[in-house]
């Protein structure tokens, strides 16, 4: 299918990939230049694949300015397995881990951590809607906490941290699955950042983890081998067969970002895209954006209409008009426009035109 036939894909993940990346994958799919085999068919121990993985890592380091003293890991099991691996490796006996609860994915992280050890949940008041990021005053941390876990972007609820919580000395662990590399990031402020690849990084099946080296000492030798960060680091993400195709595509996405001008450049695009959409959502009062203004996500723009019937009509008509994936998550309803890095600005403009027309007809 030529690129011109692509619809506007607002899926929350797996999500839209950059067309130049897809085109390169297509060109090299049957035979990598000079190799005569596809990336899916070669040994992960081959020098070709080692170079692909090494280049992806080098490009991540360059793109995000990853300081020395941090290890880059390509893992499997989705971000969901990190909900388990984080406490298994970092929540040492008798210690407490603090979790800032800002949404459904944060809750899932809490659920797994509780299976491992002591967990203290903080952030929004109990029972408060997940429509904003808590203030520092609302967060209470355990002295000497093993780590503090946050979810940088709440994919389902459409809220995002636009500052970092002030957590003191505890290592900050961030689930950045839905906004990683959407803008500049100061890695040195974190102990660990992890992200499922399928939104801003590449295809599903790979998880990127960036971990401060000293934290590897916490991984207990009694842990299952594959679940041990230290083992994964010692083996440069190749203790077993890595998700080779995913790492390869992730590497191409990193190159695409670097060629675009890196994280400051993509941040400007993301701010412009989300800015246009929120401006439209605020324009007449017809639309009901769900996240509070200072907590709005630049990646997942969530909104409602005055009735569920209207929402159903919007989703149906937008799909017919070539906009895919605007239905909100089943747990919250409404609409969600996921506009990750690779989502084209022309799609935001087209959606706004469609919304104006819908409002004219149904207002
Ligand atoms: N965390 C966040 C913030 C997410 O958005 C998602 C997936 N949508 C996950 C975790 C779970 O990721 P995975 O499906 O890779 O396990």
DSSP 116: T
Residue 291 near residue 131 (C-beta atoms within 8 A): yes
Residue 169: active-site member: no
- The 10s digit of each residue's pLDDT in 28-61 is 999 999 999 999 999 999 999 999 999 999 999 9
Residue 224 is assigned to a structural domain of this protein? yes
3-state secondary structure of 176: coil
To the query of whether residue 175 is one of the catalytic residues in this protein, the response is yes
Calculate mean pLDDT across residues 195-221.
Answer: 98
Question: CATH number of the domain that 229 lies in?
Answer: 3.40.640.10
Ligand 1 first shell, C-beta below 6 A: 13, 78-80, 105, 151, 155, 175, 177-178, 196
Instruction: Give first-to-last CA distance, the chain, whole Å.
Output: 37
Q: Same domain, yes or no, for 266 and 255? A: no
Q: Are 140 and 245 in a shared domain?
A: yes
CA distance 297 to 115: 30
Number of domains in the chain: 2
pLDDT tens digits, residue range 125-139? 989 999 999 999 999
Q: pTM of the predicted model, to two decimals?
A: 0.98
Distance 330 CA to ligand 1 centre (A): 15
Is position 161 within any domain?
yes
Same domain, 272 and 210: no
Within a domain: residue 318? yes
Confidence of residue 158 (pLDDT cuts 50, 70, 90): very high
Q: How far is CA 299 from CA 53, 66, 229, in A?
A: 27, 23, 29
DSSP letter, residue 73: E
- 242 Cα: distance to centroid of ligand 1 (angstroms): 19
Residue 328: CATH number of its domain: 3.90.1150.10
pLDDT of amino acid 4: 73
240 shares a domain with 175: yes
Pair 179, 321 in one domain = no
Give the largest CA-CA distance in the chain: 64
131, 161, 179, 199: which is the annotated catalytic residue? 199
Do 297 and 165 fall within a single domain? no
Q: Do 163 and 290 lie in a common domain?
A: no
Q: State whether 253 and 358 are in the same domain.
A: no
Whether residue 2 lies inside any domain: the answer is no
The answer to whether the beta carbons of residues 288 and 306 sit under 8 Å apart is yes
DSSP alpha helices (H): ranges in the chain? 19-28, 47-64, 78-90, 104-114, 229-234, 244-260, 262-283, 308-320, 345-362
Which structural domain, as residue segments, surrounds residue 305? 8-15+261-362
User: Which of these three, 227, 260, 293, is where a domain ends?
Assistant: 260
Per-residue confidence (pLDDT) for residue 5, from 0 to 100: 87
Residue that is last in its domain, among 204, 234, 260: 260
Tell me the C-alpha distance between 172 and 317, whole Å: 43
Residue 1 lies in a domain: no
Q: Which of 260, 295, 321 finishes a domain?
A: 260
Mutation pick for ligand 1 pocket among 14, 109, 178 (CB with most ligand atoms within 8 Å): 178
Q: Is residue 3 part of a domain?
A: no
CB neighbourhood size of 234 (10 A): 11
pLDDT at 44: 97
Query: 363 versus 186: which is more confidently predicted?
Result: 186
- Are residues 82 and 204 part of one domain? yes
Query: In whole angstroms, what is the distance from residue 95 CA to residue 179 CA?
Result: 29
Give which of 158, 166, 232 is closest to 194, Cα–Cα: 232
**Same-domain check for residues 135 and 267:** no
Q: Do the strands 118-123 and 96-101 form a parallel or antiparallel pair, or are they unpaired?
A: parallel
Residue 28 among the catalytic residues: no
CA distance 277 to 294: 15
Q: What separation in Å is there between the alpha carbon of 283 and the centre of ligand 1?
A: 32
Both 272 and 335 in a single domain?
A: yes
Shared-domain flag, residues 62 and 168: yes
pLDDT of 2: 59
């Amino acid at each position: 299918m030529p690129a011109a036939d692509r619809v506007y894909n607002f899926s929350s993940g797996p999500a839209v990939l950059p067309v130049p990346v897809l085109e390169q994958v297509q060109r090299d799919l049957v035979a990598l230049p000079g190799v005569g085999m596809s990336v899916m068919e070669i040994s992960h121990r081959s020098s070709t694949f080692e170079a692909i993985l090494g280049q992806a890592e080098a490009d991540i380091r360059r793109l995000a300015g990853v300081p020395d003293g941090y290890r880059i890991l390509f893992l499997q099991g989705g971000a969901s397995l990190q909900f388990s691996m984080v406490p298994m490796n970092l929540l040492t006996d008798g210690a407490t881990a603090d979790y800032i609860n800002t949404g459904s994915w944060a809750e899932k992280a809490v659920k797994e951590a509780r299976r491992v050890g002591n967990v203290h949940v903080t952030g929004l008041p109990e029972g408060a809607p997940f429509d904003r990021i808590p203030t520092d005053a609302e967060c209470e941390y355990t002295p000497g906490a093993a780590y503090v876990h946050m979810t940088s972007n709440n994919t389902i609820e459409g809220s995002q941290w636009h500052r970092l919580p002030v957590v003191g000395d505890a290592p900050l662990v961030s689930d950045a699955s839905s906004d990683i590399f959407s803008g500049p990031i100061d890695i040195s402020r974190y102990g660990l950042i992890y992200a499922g690849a399928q939104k801003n990084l590449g295809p599903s099946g790979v998880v990127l983890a960036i971990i401060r080296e000293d934290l590897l000492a916490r991984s207990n030798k009694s842990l299952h081998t594959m679940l041990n960060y230290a083992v994964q680091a010692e083996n440069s993400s190749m203790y077993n067969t890595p998700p080779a195709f995913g790492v390869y595509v992730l590497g191409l996405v990193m190159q695409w970002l670097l060629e675009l001008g890196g994280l400051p450049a993509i941040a400007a695009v993301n701010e412009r895209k989300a800015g246009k959409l929120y401006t439209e959502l605020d324009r007449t009062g017809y639309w009901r954006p769900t996240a509070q203004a200072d907590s709005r996500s630049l990646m997942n723009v969530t909104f409602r209409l005055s009735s569920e019937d209207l929402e159903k009509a919007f989703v149906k008509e937008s799909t017919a008009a070539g906009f895919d994936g605007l239905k909100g998550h089943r747990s919250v309803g409404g609409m969600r426009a996921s506009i990750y890095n690779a989502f084209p600005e022309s799609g935001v403009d087209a959606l706004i035109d469609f919304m104006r027309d819908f409002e004219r007809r149904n207002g």
